[in-house]
């Protein structure tokens, strides 16, 4: 059996041999600075996204847009247009350090040398005048990057005489529905002089004016199908647009900075607004001799000498406030430098802040929303300096609050360190998973929220996926989880008869088959896509006809009851009442697929559940168990609402009770084979399905009557462990979705059955833990975490990995199911802050000026 925390991952968590300064913080993922990957996982389908393994932790608030700084120091992830993705290094967006001891001087940009743009060979080497920091090799480390979301740190060693480190973070705070939305990244640089002579140091931050870039210039919103049958739309951002950009100094009581602005329309359009680079003005008073210099404009299109030559010579930059507006093909970057002298033994802490105020997220139909942070800073796109000033005033408190909420996880020595690391780092997707978070309204007092299923399947909050992946949101930001479920409750009664082609039939060579987009009463698969009207136009995906799915209604009911019962903020009867009519309608609709009157909905042959490439026929273990658990949950809902709010739920309760009695009488009779549950009742498929009893897991988790007897659950789990875990690659990768009882594949070329789904594995691990088998739970989790964090998949965790080092669907929502293991292992121990209701200061404040 695979063991949790294999040596390769342990060495990444705690790098050795390079001195104390490089030791990674506890429960963090780390890697030698700039070290490449010998054999990273690569994408399974050519059309799917694969930006390579150079991914670091994202910075920015939920729904605010985010940026990502990689383990080689480059800024290369730009998710600043809600729901859209752009990956590419801007070399002039960078830090640099100058050092002189009076005899020798050196200056390095604090990232490895960027590669030339292969698509533009005429452009040559970017910023050729700059001196870049050397990358680590397998023989020698030049530093360490470490991440424990939302904190990351970089230590630089062996190049400068000074000890140099940087800690970066955004105020991601459980239960805080204000600061968690802020579009800001804080970089706290610590410089220490360990020598016997004074050191003159200068820390530089340079940044490109990108206002106007992050909006889609393709207005068509047309949909086409990839080679795997999934729909996608074009995204063509305005990268490189410069017309009307201008940079200027900005000063406030606690701030010295530069504002980067662009053209503005009325009303403000997507991508328009401001950026701000800033540092603490108090540094000049607190450190005699320290100076802050600002260069409002330099040209990043050339060799960069105009900025680099004076910096590398003496640590200075041109101190100018040139606010000339750019023309076309006239890029402008700005820079800020903090110069100081450190005597032997001295240390200085320098906060540098990057904030952005791009308040509008537009959708292709012409609709748009304001982002949640505008409730506190206004929606005019002129608050970047105010956001930066708040960060400079409060970053120490924010950092302390992050440490406080992480402490209960860090202290759980009964959980292996790789698991504790992954609990934190898998939360990255709430920032960089294309998340939307709208401004508040009377109907949605904390706004509307959504995270993409993934960047390849770019639609929001796929209900079957969030059955697993929403455990993190539930435990840390429960009001956002309620917001998502309320959006589904509104969508269930809606209808859209527009016919669409179904992608799966194309992949099967069956030609064009069409289906209505959304039938009334059908539980939608998702809450729409960023190129349409997310939250309001549901069922964007057209790979399958989601009106026929047999798990979605059960998924909705179970999540509503789960959130009501287990949210750390307490039971919310109003939320339950809001969702009750939709729950009733959803279950009534699903019951219409009970073809033979045995109480259980029947799968129809085409894939019609979360394993949407895996046909099931008749009653299935997966959908049937979810159905039984959902009926139990619905009965419990109706009883609470009738007893405590006086709602008349008796008719629905009678129906559910009758269906439940029938379902329970037939489930085992149709599916139990004496050792485990058959995948379905009619196809005759001889495989052990790994997630056959997800419904039983949910029932037991929620304190409902179990779907199956204890001994049959245990027997099924033993079969899954032996066939799909130990029998698949010796347990090295995790649990495959479905194999024969002897561990061999039914179809060696199968898709879903031979994949290890990260989120399903974490959910299964939680089920094993709930059933008392902690060793297997940790072994499964350890195998998956090992693959993700040694295979170059960190901060882009995929849906699926295979036995031949390929992956599918990165940045995937379901992987946050790792928080289900935390819940089952700790008995729902709350994280500090998560139990709070949104307080007055977190509500929109009319008196507060941006």
Give the separation between CA 564 and CA 561, rounded to whole angstroms.
5
Give the pLDDT score at 849: 33
Mean pLDDT of 103-125: 84
- 8 Å CB contact between 663 and 600: yes
H or E element that contains 276: strand 274-280
Q: Which of 110-114, 626-630, 837-841 comes out lowest in average pLDDT? A: 837-841
Q: Is the dihedral of CA 206, 209, 214, 217 positive or negative?
A: negative
Q: Is pLDDT of 841 > 60?
A: no
Give the pLDDT score at 750: 82
Q: Which residues contact 197 (CB under 8 A, 6 or more apart)?
A: 101, 102, 344
Give the separation between CA 228 and CA 780, rounded to whole angstroms.
28
Q: Is pLDDT of 2 > 50?
A: no
Give the separation between CA 798 and CA 132, rounded to whole angstroms.
32
Mean pLDDT of 447-455: 98
Helix, strand, coil share of the chain (percent; to 5): 30, 20, 50
The tokens describing 496, both together, are 């859209």
Which residue is listed with tokens 């894939």? 607
Mean pLDDT of 372-388: 98
Give the pLDDT score at 122: 57
Q: Is pLDDT of 283 > 60?
A: yes
Which pLDDT band, with edges at 50, 70 and 90, does 840 fall under? Answer: very low
The tokens describing 336, both together, are 């800020």
Give the separation between CA 593 and CA 552, rounded to whole angstroms.
13
Give the separation between CA 105 and CA 253, rounded to whole angstroms.
34
Output DSSP code: residue 706: P
| Alpha-carbon separation of residue 446 from 237, 471, 560, 656, 840 (angstroms) | 29, 19, 18, 33, 11
Which pLDDT band, with edges at 50, 70 and 90, does 11 fall under? Answer: low
Helix intervals (H) in 621-674: 621-645, 650-671
Model confidence, pTM: 0.96
Mean pLDDT of 525-543: 94
Q: Is pLDDT of 17 > 50?
A: no
Using DSSP, state whether 277 is helix, strand or coil: strand
Q: What are phi and psi of 309, to 5 degrees?
A: -60, -50
Count other Cβ atoms within 10 Å, centred on residue 141.
Answer: 22
Q: Is pLDDT of 842 > 90?
A: no
143 torsion bin: left (phi>0), alpha (psi -120 to 50), beta (else): left
Q: What are phi and psi of 75, to 5 degrees?
A: -90, 115
Give the pLDDT score at 511: 87
DSSP assignment of 196-207: SS-EEEEEEEEE
Looking at the chain, how many residues does it have? 850
The tokens describing 534, both together, are 């997310």
Number of H helices and E strands in the chain, helices first, is 20, 34
Choose between 725 and 288: higher pLDDT.
725
Mean pLDDT of 295-307: 97
Using DSSP, state whether 429 is helix, strand or coil: helix
Give the separation between CA 248 and CA 259, rounded to whole angstroms.
5
Find the radius of gyration of the CA atoms of the chain: 27
Q: Is pLDDT of 1 > 50?
A: no
H or E element that contains 357: strand 347-357
Q: Is pLDDT of 23 > 90?
A: no
Give the pLDDT score at 14: 60
Which pLDDT band, with edges at 50, 70 and 90, does 116 fall under? Answer: confident
- The angle that helices 478-491 and 573-591 make with each other, rounded to 10 degrees, is 40
Highest-confidence range of 232-241, 356-365, 405-414, by mean pLDDT?
Answer: 405-414
Which pLDDT band, with edges at 50, 70 and 90, does 566 fall under? Answer: very high
pLDDT tens per residue, range 452-471: 999 999 999 999 999 999 99
pLDDT tens per residue, range 625-684: 999 999 999 999 999 999 999 999 999 999 999 999 999 999 999 999 999 999 999 999
- The angle that helices 417-425 and 774-790 make with each other, rounded to 10 degrees, is 60
Which pLDDT band, with edges at 50, 70 and 90, does 53 fall under? Answer: very high
Mean pLDDT of 749-753: 85
For all residues of the chain together, what is the average pLDDT? 94
- 8 Å CB contact between 243 and 327: yes
Give the pLDDT score at 20: 38
Q: Is pLDDT of 265 > 90?
A: yes
Q: Is pLDDT of 290 > 80?
A: yes
Which pLDDT band, with edges at 50, 70 and 90, does 520 fall under? Answer: very high
pLDDT tens per residue, range 220-261: 767 777 777 777 888 999 999 999 999 999 999 899 999 999
């Amino acid at each position: 059996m695979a063991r949790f925390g294999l040596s390769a991952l342990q060495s990444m968590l705690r790098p050795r041999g390079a001195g104390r300064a490089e030791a990674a913080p506890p429960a963090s993922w780390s890697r030698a600075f700039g070290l490449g990957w010998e054999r990273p996982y690569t994408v399974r389908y050519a059309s799917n996204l694969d930006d390579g393994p150079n991914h670091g932790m994202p910075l920015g608030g939920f729904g605010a847009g985010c940026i990502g700084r990689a383990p080689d120091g480059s800024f290369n992830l730009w998710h600043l247009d809600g729901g859209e993705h752009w990956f590419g290094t801007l070399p002039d967006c960078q830090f640099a350090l100058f050092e002189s001891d009076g005899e020798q001087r050196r200056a390095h940009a604090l990232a490895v040398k960027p590669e030339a743009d292969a698509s533009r060979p005429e452009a040559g080497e970017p910023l050729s005048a700059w001196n870049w920091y050397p990358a680590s090799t397998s023989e020698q480390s030049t530093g360490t990057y470490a991440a424990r979301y939302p904190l990351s740190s970089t230590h630089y060693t062996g190049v400068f005489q000074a000890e140099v480190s940087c800690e970066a973070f955004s105020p991601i705070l459980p239960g805080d529905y204000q600061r968690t939305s802020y579009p800001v990244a804080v970089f706290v640089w610590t410089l220490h002089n360990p020598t016997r002579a004074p050191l003159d140091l200068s820390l530089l931050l340079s940044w490109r004016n990108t206002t106007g870039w992050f909006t889609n210039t393709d207005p068509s919103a047309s949909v086409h199908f990839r080679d795997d049958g999934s729909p996608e739309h074009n995204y063509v951002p305005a990268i490189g647009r410069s017309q009307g950009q201008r940079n200027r100094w900005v000063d406030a009581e606690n701030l010295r900075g530069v504002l980067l602005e662009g053209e503005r329309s009325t009303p403000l359009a997507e991508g328009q607004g401001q950026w701000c680079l800033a540092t603490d003005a108090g540094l000049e008073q607190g450190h005699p001799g320290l100076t802050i210099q600002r260069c409002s404009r330099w040209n990043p299109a050339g060799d960069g000498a105009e900025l680099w030559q004076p910096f590398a010579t003496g640590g200075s930059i041109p101190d100018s406030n040139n606010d000339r507006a750019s023309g076309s093909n006239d890029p402008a970057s700005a820079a800020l430098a903090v110069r100081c002298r450190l005597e032997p033994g001295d240390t200085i802490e320098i906060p540098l802040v990057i904030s952005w105020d791009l308040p509008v997220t537009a959708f292709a139909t012409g609709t748009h929303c304001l982002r949640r942070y505008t409730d506190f800073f206004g929606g005019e796109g002129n608050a970047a300096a105010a956001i930066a000033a708040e960060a400079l005033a409060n970053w120490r408190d924010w950092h302390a609050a992050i440490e406080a909420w992480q402490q209960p996880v860090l202290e759980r020595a009964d959980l292996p360190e790789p698991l504790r690391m992954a609990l934190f780092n898998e939360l990255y997707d709430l920032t960089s998973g294309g998340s939307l978070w709208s401004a508040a309204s009377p109907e949605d007092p904390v706004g509307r929220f959504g995270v993409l299923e993934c960047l390849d399947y770019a639609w929001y909050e796929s209900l079957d996926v969030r059955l697993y992946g929403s455990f993190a949101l539930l435990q840390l930001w429960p009001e956002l989880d309620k917001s998502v479920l309320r959006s589904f409750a509104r969508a269930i009664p809606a209808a859209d008869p527009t016919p669409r082609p179904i992608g799966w039939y194309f992949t099967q060579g069956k030609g064009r088959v069409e289906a209505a987009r959304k039938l009334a009463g059908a539980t939608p698969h998702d809450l729409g896509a960023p190129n349409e009207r997310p939250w309001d136009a549901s069922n964007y995906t057209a790979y399958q006809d989601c009106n026929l799915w047999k798990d979605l209604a059960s998924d909705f009911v179970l999540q509503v009851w789960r959130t009501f019962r287990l949210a750390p903020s307490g039971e919310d009867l109003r939320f339950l009442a809001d969702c009750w009519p939709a729950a009733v309608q959803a279950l009534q609709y699903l019951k219409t697929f009970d073809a033979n009157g045995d109480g259980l909905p029947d799968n129809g042959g085409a894939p019609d559940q979360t394993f949407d490439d895996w046909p099931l026929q008749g009653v299935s273990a997966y959908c049937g168990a979810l159905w039984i658990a959902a009926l139990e949950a619905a009965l419990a809902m109706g009883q609470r609402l009738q007893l405590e709010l006086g709602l008349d739920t008796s008719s629905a309760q009678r129906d559910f009770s009758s269906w439940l009695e029938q379902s329970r009488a037939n489930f085992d009779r149709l599916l139990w084979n004496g050792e485990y549950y058959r995948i379905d009742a009619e196809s005759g498929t001889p495989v052990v399905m790994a997630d056959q009893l997800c419904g039983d897991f949910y029932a037991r988790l929620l304190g409902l009557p179990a779907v199956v007897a204890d001994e049959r659950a245990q027997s099924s789990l033993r079969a899954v462990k032996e066939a799909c875990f130990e029998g698949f690659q010796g347990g090295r990768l995790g649990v495959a979705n479905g194999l024969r009882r002897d561990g061999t594949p039914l179809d060696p070329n199968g898709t879903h059955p031979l994949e290890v789904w990260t989120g399903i594995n974490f959910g299964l691990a939680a089920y094993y833990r709930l059933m008392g088998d902690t060793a297997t739970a940790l072994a499964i989790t350890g195998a998956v975490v090992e693959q993700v964090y040694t295979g170059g998949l960190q901060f882009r965790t995929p849906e699926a990995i295979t036995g031949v080092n390929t992956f599918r669907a990165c940045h995937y929502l379901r992987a946050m199911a790792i928080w289900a293991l935390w819940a089952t292992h700790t008995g729902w121990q709350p994280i500090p802050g998560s139990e709070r209701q949104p307080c007055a200061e977190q509500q929109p404040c009319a008196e507060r000026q941006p």
